[in-house]
Amino acid sequence: MVSIWTLPGVPDDHEVRLPLNADAGGFAQRVKETLQELEAAEQRPQLRIFLDVQTWNCDAIRFGYGTLLDRDYPALGTSIDTLENAREILTALACSVIDPQPWFGKRRPKEATDYATSLEVSPFEEPLSVRILGRMEPSLFAGDVDDFVPLPRRVSLKLRDAFQYLTELVNGPNGSADSDWLASSLQHGVSANVTESLVRLLQLPSAFGTTVEVSLRLAPVRSFGGQALSAWHFRRSQMQALVEIGERLKSFATGPDERVLFLVADVRVSRRGKIITGTALIAEEARRIEMAVDDELIRIAELAKSRNNAVQCFGRLRRRPDSGRYEVLQPHDLQIVHSEDDPTVEVLRRKMPPGSAGGSQMPLIRENSPGS
């Protein structure tokens, strides 16, 4: 008994006959033939396919330098460099899923760092290549598939978007450094952290060849759109283009942490995250702000809102290029501030519309900008 699978291709279609009874005669030969057909269909080694079949409930992400059999295994230091840069790329992509930015500093969202910690590294199955696994628990999808998408899959899809977009950027004409370019880069998850790590991978010893290979195989544990297997190749000749993209993205990054004083309008807690919105004094004007925070900061914001007190925090202030609204990136050190302790609180209240100085019904300031 077999299950027949087909893969439309150019120039030929491929048909795979998957044996279903492990006790049947000739089962081992049927498995061998299945791997041979998959090798021809997917244009990748049987060993990679076999390992991916074993980790069916993991998204498999590979970073490598080729598959030539006459290459030596890399030195320990080089392997560590490869893993560290791969980890930085995946962490930056996780940050982009949670809070898109052109460049991520040392303070990362906890959800992103937890994702990076959960990643598993499989044994080096071939010289100069490492496979990283993002595990998804099948129990999450035992019932009907709903709108919930776990972070490992969201990062994998962001990786697919980011590397496809990067491939188009380095192979196409140089785009203009305007807000549309920035918004598109942020939407696809491309940050300076990703391009800088790719450049570092390309700068490894020339004995590794001139190409960095990145591939993604999505686990069939839940449905997804697009291709299940994707691969990208970046050459040393494209290093300068990657450097320029990274420098351009960094030029859009906000400056160092600054003090932000605001009145809390709303605290939202959902499965996707925890968001505080409010009105802050920015450039002597009352402006709408929002920030993603953790549980401890949520408690401070809720207490301040209940008492109609102001809150002070530190973070990097960024005006979103797509909507013009302000975000506080990586907020920290939230403190409740009373009017008698800081006269700026009363300045902020006076600049807000009549009848909106705090309280549960405090409206947000509407700005005359796109997307408001």
Q: Is the pLDDT confidence value at 281 over 90? A: no
pLDDT at residue 355, rounded to an integer: 47
Judge contact between 91 and 108, C-beta under 8 A. Answer: yes
Average pLDDT over residues 263-283: 86
Cβ neighbours of 28 (radius 10 Å): 10
CA–CA gap between residue 128 and residue 112 (Å, rounded): 27
How many residues would you count in the chain? 372
- Please enumerate in sequence order all residues whose Cβ is within 8 A of that of 90, keeping only pairs 6 or more positions apart, or say none: 61, 115, 116, 119, 132, 155, 159
Q: Is the pLDDT confidence value at 125 over 70? A: no
pLDDT at residue 257, rounded to an integer: 78
- Percent pLDDT > 90 in the chain is 34
- Please enumerate in sequence order all residues whose Cβ is within 8 A of that of 302, keeping only pairs 6 or more positions apart, or say none: 264, 267
pLDDT in tens, 286-333: 888 999 888 888 899 999 999 889 999 998 887 766 666 788 887 888
Judge contact between 39 and 16, C-beta under 8 A. Answer: no
Average pLDDT for the chain: 81
pLDDT at residue 367, rounded to an integer: 36
| pLDDT confidence tier of residue 20, bands split at 50, 70 and 90 | confident
pLDDT at residue 366, rounded to an integer: 36
pLDDT winner (highest mean) among 71-80, 93-102, 219-228, 355-364: 93-102
The domain locations on the chain are: 1-43, 51-252, 258-351
Query: Residue 278, class by beta-carbon neighbours within 10 Å (0-12 exposed, 13-18 middle, 19+ buried)?
Result: buried
Average pLDDT over residues 52-75: 75
pLDDT at residue 2, rounded to an integer: 74
For the domain bounded by 258-351, which CATH number is listed? 2.40.50
CA–CA gap between residue 370 and residue 372 (Å, rounded): 6
Alpha helices (runs of H) in the chain, residue ranges in sequence order: 27-42, 46-54, 76-98, 110-118, 151-171, 179-188, 192-202, 239-252, 295-307, 344-351
Two tokens, residue 318: 């960024």
Q: Is the pLDDT confidence value at 172 over 80? A: no
Q: Is the pLDDT confidence value at 365 over 70? A: no
- DSSP track, 119-130: -EE----BTTEE
